Structure formats: structure tokens, C-alpha cells
Amino acid sequence: MIVREFFASFCVVFGLLFSHFTAAAPDLLLAKELPAQVVVKDYLISEKYDGVRAYWDGKALWFRGGGQIHAPQWFVDGLPPEALDGELWLAYGGFERGVGIVRQSTPVDADWRQIKYMVFELPNATGDFASRAAKIAQIVQAAQQPYLRAVKQYRLQTREQVQRDLDAVVRAGGEGLMLHLASAPYQTGRVDVLYKLKPTSDAEAVVIGYINGTGKYTGMMGALRVRADDGREFSIGTGFSDETRRAPPAIGTVVTYKFRGLTKNGLPRFASYWRVRVDAK
């Protein structure tokens, strides 16, 4: 009886503590793949940085999935009171190392000194995106923090110019481009105002099962069974390291995969595993 009462009390206390340190996922704007019919001159274009999505609510930094990011106090103290949306970015080719820095429960100052907060949106701000982009530049300039950066936004006139810039960004080690409708008010969700353009497409899916490996992969995972946002289920069988095949992502994990267009049935063609979505929490 005493043990049962102690356990019940423990659960109540733990629940209170857990609720204090977690929060619901922030409602953010998400990008779609760039369609062919977009009128390029109506959009502001920026580089897509391969970092960890981070939402600043004026007091704390949060992952896209809702878990708190434990940044050093000096990093937090230097951020403005306005809500911000952006990427915590290390460097070209530095995604994995950047993830390791940002996900530390006890932040290391020397590591965080290398991180830049690349801001591209003002959540819930009024006005169109062009005016919000100008406001971001003003906020960043006023903050005068070397790690706080406004993502450069600019205009182009043709799809050929966009492709030229995409090629240049990729050659430099970048991930791709973003196109944000200049006249758009602030919105959330995956809506038709923000597009991404990369050499290959990528998307997310939830792991729902495994297919056992054969041949040299006997005793390992051969493929992941996943479910996309639209409910379609399919398998991803390539892109894994042997380490990942021995310890695959748990069921329920959100993973990112790359693909090249869609089949006639609407499934991703040549789906290849990329990585676990690190900003899930």
C-alpha cells in the first residue's frame, strides 16, 4: 500500500516537472517543393541553410517539434524580445556536428560560439513578407550580436536565374534555395507561399515497421516501412549505413528521405534514407 501511494505521488510530481520542461510544438510555416508554374518575380529568394530549425519565443529557444533548446545564457540574453524563426547553423558540411552542439543538454560555450542563428521569419508579425524581411534586418542590426544573422532576401526575374543561383549555392556546399511570396501575410503550416528548391527533393515520413535484411544484411534491417503525411505507406531500402541497419530508427520516429519525382501511383521514386529529423524535439 505504501509503495503504491509513493508511486502515485511520484507520477504526479514527475508529470508536473515534465510539463514544466516541455511544450507543444510551435505552429510554424513549412515549405513545399517548388512547382513549375511559380512566377519567380513575385517571390523573395534566399539560401536554404542546412541547420536545426529553431523558434525563439522571446524567452527561450524551441525545436520545431517542441522540445527546448538548451543554449548558453549569453546566447539567449543577446536575442531580441521579438519572436523569431530560423536555423541554428554551423557551416557548410557541418550539419552533423552542428546537431551535436545544439542538442547538448548542458551547452558548451566554446561550441556554441561557432553557431549562427540564421533568421528568416517573424512569427505572427503583421504586414507582408517583404516588410517582415526588412524588419528582420532592422532587428538583427539593432541587436548587434555576431551570431544573430538576417538571411539575405533578394529578387530574381526568371526561372533560369533561379537555377543559376541554385547551382552556385550547391557548388559552394549549400543545400538549396527558398522562395517566399513577397506579398504573403504571416501563415503557418504547409501552404502555397513558401517553396524550397534543391537538386533532389526530400520529404518526411513516420517509421511504422521494418523489413528484415537478406544476403549481406542478414540479421540487420533491410528496409524501413514508413507512412507519409498523406497516409501512403511505402518502403525505404537504400541510403543506410551498416550502423543504422544494425540499430534502425525506432517505430514512431520521423525520418527524412530523398527522392526523384513520383511514380504514376503517387509514391516517391527512388526513395533513399537521409536522416532522422533532428528538430522533432
Residue 122 lies in a domain: yes
Q: Residue 266: left if φ>0, alpha if ψ -120 to 50, beta else—which one?
A: left
- H or E element, residue 139: helix 129-143
One-letter amino acid for residue 99 of the chain: V
Q: How confident is the model at residue 261 (pLDDT cuts 50, 70, 90)?
A: confident
Tell how strand 43-48 and strand 272-276 pair up.
unpaired
What is the domain count for the chain?
Answer: 2
One-letter amino acid at 258 equals K
Q: Is the pTM of this model over 0.85?
A: no
pLDDT in tens, 69-114: 999 999 999 999 999 999 999 999 899 899 999 999 999 999 999 9
Using pLDDT thresholds of 50, 70 and 90, give the confidence band for residue 30: very high
Same domain, 230 and 104: no
- Of the candidates 189, 174, 212, the one whose C-alpha atom is nearest the C-alpha of residue 25 is 189
- 218 and 184 share a domain? no
Model confidence over 33-73: pLDDT tens digits? 899 889 999 999 999 999 999 999 999 999 998 899 999 99
Nearest Cα neighbor of 255 from 230, 225, 231 is 225
- The pLDDT confidence band at residue 146, using thresholds 50, 70 and 90, is very high
**What does the pLDDT read at residue 262?**
78
pLDDT recorded at residue 21 = 42
Q: Known catalytic residues?
A: 48
For residues 45 and 179, state if they share a domain: yes
**Structural domain range at position 184:** 29-197
Element (H, E) at 6: helix 2-21
* 19 vs 193, higher pLDDT: 193
**247 and 188, same domain (yes or no):** no
Mean pLDDT of 173-196: 95
Residue 111 lies in a domain: yes
- Pair 182, 45 in one domain: yes
Confidence of residue 229 (pLDDT cuts 50, 70, 90): confident
Distances (CA, A) of 193 to 102, 143, 190: 29, 28, 9
